[in-house]
Every structure is written in C-alpha cells, then in structure tokens.
Amino acid sequence: MSTQAYDAVIIGSGVIGSSITYELGRRGLRTLTVDRNGGAGLGSTSYSSAIVRFTYSTYPGVAMSYEGLRYWQNWGDHLNAGSNDDLAKFHQCGMATLKTEGGHHLKVLPHFDSIGIPYEHWDIDDFRVHLPELDLSTFGPPKRPDDESFWNEPTEQLEGAVFTPEAGYISDPQLAAQNLCTAATALGCEFLFNVEVTSITRTGHRITGLQLAHGTTISTPVIVNAAGPHSRIVNEMAGALEDMSIGTNPLRQEVHHVPSPPEFDFENRGFSIADDDNGIYVRPDLGNNILVGSTEPDCDPLHWVDPDYQGEIDVGQWEAQVLRLNRRLPSVGVPHQKRGVVGVYDVADDWIPIYDRTCVDGFYVAIGTSGNQFKNAGIAGYCMSELIEAVENGQDHDSDPVSVTGPHTSLPIDMGNFRRTRTINPDSSMSVHG
C-alpha cells in the first residue's frame, strides 16, 4: 500500500469534475482527479444533449448560464489550446421556448430583461418565415400516446415563442470533458482512470484523504465530489449528508435521435425548441438529425434508478417522445429504427444544482446537476474554485456566502443560492428547465 499527497482530489472526471480540476490547476494547486471509468467524460456527460440555453427559473440560474455561454464561445482561448487541437464545437442555432398559458417563459423573461439577454417574441407569422413546417396547434397538456385524447384534433393555436438567438449546443459533450482534461494535464494536473474511490478518511470534522480500490491511500486536505449520479454514495463515504436538506437521486432519462427528411434540413435550418405544451425538447444534430428529449410532463412516470443503471430504449417512451415530436413537426414522420441514448441525471430535490462546501471541512460538492448543468461546466468550475479558495482561506460561506463575478459578463453569481442547506426553491420549475 502506497501513500501520495495532493492539494486537492476531485472525484469524477465528467465535464464538471474536469472543469473544476482545470480551474484549480490554473490556481497552481497540485491536483489528482480520480475516475472509475477509462477516460474523461465517459459518465453521464457522454449522454448529454448539451443544449446551451438561458431559460432558468431563477436569476442565478439565468446569470450562470449566460456566463457559461461565453466559455463555449471562447473554448479554444479558455483552454489555451493550439489551432490544430480537436475541440468541442459550439453550434449557435438559437432556441424557441414555446409560449403556453402561465408557462415557463413568464418566469424567465424578467431575468432576461434585468441581465440584458437578447430575445425576440415570435408569433405564428414569424414561424411561417423561420420554420413553416412547425405545427403551432395546442396539443397540451401533454399525454401519452395510449391515451386516446392524444390524437384529438387541436382547436387552438399557441401564441408563439420567445426566441433566444444566442442559444445553441455542443455536438460532442464527451470531447468537451476530454478537452478540459487535456488542458488540465498540460498544467500538471494528474488524472487516474479505471480506479474507484472506496472510502474517505477524516480526523474529526476535517478531511484527511481517501482510499482507492487497489489499496492506494491519498492524503489531501480538499476533496471535491463531482461524481454525477454517484454523488449521494460519495457524500455518504465522507459522512457529509448530516446537514444537507436537499438530496440527490439518479433518474433514468432517454433522448432519441430521429433523422430529418433531407429536404427539411433541420441540421442547418432548425433551432432548439422547448415545448412544454407537448412535454418535449428538441434540437438539431449533426448528420441532419433531430434530437428529442423529455421535459418531465406529469403524465410520464419518473424512473429513479441505481447510479450504475444501464438500460435500453423503452419502446413506450420512444413512442411517447417521437410521436409528440411528430405532432409538432409532422413532416418528420416516424422512423422504423429506434435510435437514442439512455442516460442518468443526478437530480437535486428542486432540480437546482448544489455547488457548496459541506459540514465536513475540506469536503466540497458539485452535484445534483439535474440534467441541466453541462452548459455551465466552464463557469461552474470557476465558481467552485473561487468557493474552495475563499473557504480554505477562512470565509464562512454558510453565514457569508461567496459571491462570484462572472469573468466574461461581470454578472454577480451568489453561490448561496446553490447551498446544500436551502429549502426547496419555490421558483424552480421542478423539471429539467431548472
């Protein structure tokens, strides 16, 4: 059995853990990032739809995502990458949030106005110009296809949408995590793959280190839990659950890939669509595909699973999502081949992440990413490194929350909003919208 010492150890090399690693490395810390998988970004990150949008229910959520956009727009500079490096690419396709009665757009718009996020109100005539194939009938509230009212002829039209031209997506989320890993390695950060963290050691209330499955002991004063759907298990190892009022749990999630008819050319003409009327979200994908996911409508049961869950496409869910897409975009049709991914979200009780210290000194969490934090990876890494530095230098974040200024937008991000000890945020959408 050998022992090694580091300034900080990050558990998990998904897009969040790799980003935290990079930011701590930039501050000159000697870090080790451990992952049970064989490379960076092979956990839940690899299943991500990787949509970059700003439509969160709370001001900090909107501010963080708008700051997060700048990282993707400046990805090569952020990583200090060479011009020939294979980098994740940001595709700015825009996003239409369909307006439903009393809908999500009403929560979002005041934050857009106060931050100055550009948006347009689109009515039905605007859609005729931008995407005439879209059927703007009111189908909702969302139903499952085995409910016979699913096929009722709609009698009303939606009002339109809020369109955010700066939104987009990353076509290869796993590559984004690998980019961060490569950039961190260039700074001297170490990564250890195919090894599981099996226990965390402490003396009293202070972290002292951790143990790996093959027997190695690592000594460190700082550990960051960025274990994605395994977050709760890692918190248990550290004995950090004691004062957490917000829990995290793994939730099964399917995203389907439907070919766009060639003449429709959704890859180039399309944009992301948040469609609460139908319980789906949609985005263009490379290879002229349409990606369709769920916004957790009430009629769809939630499947809470084991964090190691690996499943196949469920025919019922595939039909639900693809037929909903088909009602909105009838020219797409229903493909014979069922393609898609089955991933796992690490869902916080109010669908808002926990970026915080814990009751165990030196043990930090970047968890509960709730299917909506890929886009925030860059800024989340920065915020966590600011928080860790402040707390390790003596700031009592619980009573005096760390406030971060977005490096690109200068927007204030009050980290107190992401506390483990909060009550359920009443403004939350309680869904993937955050």
Ligand X SMILES: Cc1cc2nc3c(=O)[nH]c(=O)nc-3n(C[C@H](O)[C@H](O)[C@H](O)COP(=O)(O)OP(=O)(O)OC[C@H]3O[C@@H](n4cnc5c(N)ncnc54)[C@H](O)[C@@H]3O)c2cc1C
Residues in contact with ligand X by CB under 6 A are 11-17, 34-37, 42-45, 47-51, 196-197, 226-230, 234, 253, 255, 343-345, 369, 371-375
Between 277 and 285, CB nearer to ligand X:
285
CB of 194 to ligand X, least distance (A): 9
What 198-202 contacts at long range (C-beta under 8 Å, 24+ apart), as own/partner pairs, is 198/237, 199/237, 200/234, 200/237, 200/238, 200/239, 200/363, 202/238, 202/239, 202/360, 202/363
- Least gap, CB of 254 to ligand X (angstroms): 7
Cβ of residue 12: shortest distance to ligand X, in angstroms?
3
In the bound state with ligand X, the residue whose beta carbon lies nearer, of 136 and 270, is: 270
Position of minimal CB gap to ligand X: 14
Query: Whole-number minimum distance, CB 237 to ligand X, in Å?
Result: 8
Please report how close the Cβ of residue 46 comes to ligand X at its closest, in angstroms. Answer: 7
The CB-of-282 to ligand X minimum distance in angstroms stands at 11
- Between strands 8-11 and 31-35, the pairing is parallel
| CB closer to ligand X, 15 vs 184 | 15
Nearest distance in Å: CB 72, ligand X:
11
**Residue closer to ligand X (CB basis): 157 or 199:** 199
Place of tokens 């009665």: 101
- Tell me how far, at minimum, the Cβ of 252 lies from ligand X, in Å: 9
Please state the closest distance from residue 420 (CB atom) to ligand X, in A.
Answer: 15
Residue 180 burial class via C-beta count within 10 angstroms: exposed 0-12, middle 13-18, buried 19 and up: buried
Q: Are 424 and 349 in contact (CB under 8 A)?
A: yes
Nearer to ligand X, 161 or 181 (CB): 181
Q: Which is nearer to ligand X, 31 or 372 (CB)?
A: 372
CB of 271 to ligand X, least distance (A): 14
Nearer to ligand X, 89 or 126 (CB): 89
| Residue whose CB is less far from ligand X, 256 or 327 | 256
**Pick 7 or 196: Cβ nearer ligand X:** 196
Nearest residue (CB) to ligand X, 347 versus 402 = 347
Cβ proximity of 26 and 3 under 8 Å: no
